[in-house]
């Protein structure tokens, strides 16, 4: 049975992108902020596989605080960062970023993080609106959005002839240079 009493530990996470980089600056700042244990990954922020972050997330209990030197050390993107901090909050775990002076264990820190989350959602909505407007404008000019089809009329004619000859669909797909899924989808439309 695990103890559910809030512990209040401050656990730190540091990340450097390459083996040549030194996490000492992050470690020093985290220790100065009262972090009791530091988990460090040497990996690009774009990678989803960060074993030390996974280990840290498993260690955190209600009442603990995850502390980072800077926001970009934790999140791969704004949306990933917001998802991570929201998941921590749901578990009763606080979050602090030293450089940006964000601490979700305080009302002001929660407010600031909420504003950042709202700005990120606003940015996503703007991108979506611009994309939809661009596609509508292209359609109005007679162009369709998306990638051009890899299955041309000539390829389809060859595929139909080879199919009539009894050739396997995998061979047909390889011969005309499309995936089997593309071939199957186009053949299904003909049925």
So which residues are the catalytic ones?
A: 17
Which runs of consecutive H residues, i.e. helices, occur in 91-177?
A: 107-140, 153-164, 169-176
What is d(CA 189, CA 108) in angstroms, rounded to the nearest whole number? 58
Q: What are phi and psi of 51, to 5 degrees?
A: -60, -35
**Residue 153 burial by Cβ neighbours in a 10 Å radius (0-12, 13-18, 19+):** exposed
Question: Within 10 Å of residue 148's Cβ, how many Cβ atoms?
Answer: 7
């Amino acid at each position: 049975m695990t103890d559910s009493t809030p512990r209040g530990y401050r656990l730190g996470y540091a990340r450097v992108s390459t083996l040549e980089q030194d996490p000492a600056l992050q470690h020093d700042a985290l220790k100065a902020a009262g972090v009791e244990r530091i988990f460090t990954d040497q990996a690009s922020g774009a990678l989803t596989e960060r074993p030390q972050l996974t280990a840290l997330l498993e260690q955190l209990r209600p009442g603990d605080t995850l502390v980072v030197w800077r926001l970009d050390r934790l999140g791969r993107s704004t949306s990933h960062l917001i998802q991570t901090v929201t998941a921590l909050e749901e578990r009763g775990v606080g979050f602090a970023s030293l450089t940006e002076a964000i601490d979700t264990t305080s009302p002001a820190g929660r407010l600031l993080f909420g504003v950042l989350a709202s700005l990120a959602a606003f940015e996503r909505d703007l991108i979506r609106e611009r994309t939809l407007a661009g596609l509508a404008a292209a359609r109005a000019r007679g162009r369709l959005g998306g990638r051009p089809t890899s299955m041309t009329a000539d390829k389809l004619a060859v595929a139909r002839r080879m199919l009539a000859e009894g050739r396997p669909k995998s061979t047909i797909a390889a011969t005309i240079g499309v995936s089997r899924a593309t071939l199957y989808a186009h053949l299904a439309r003909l049925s």
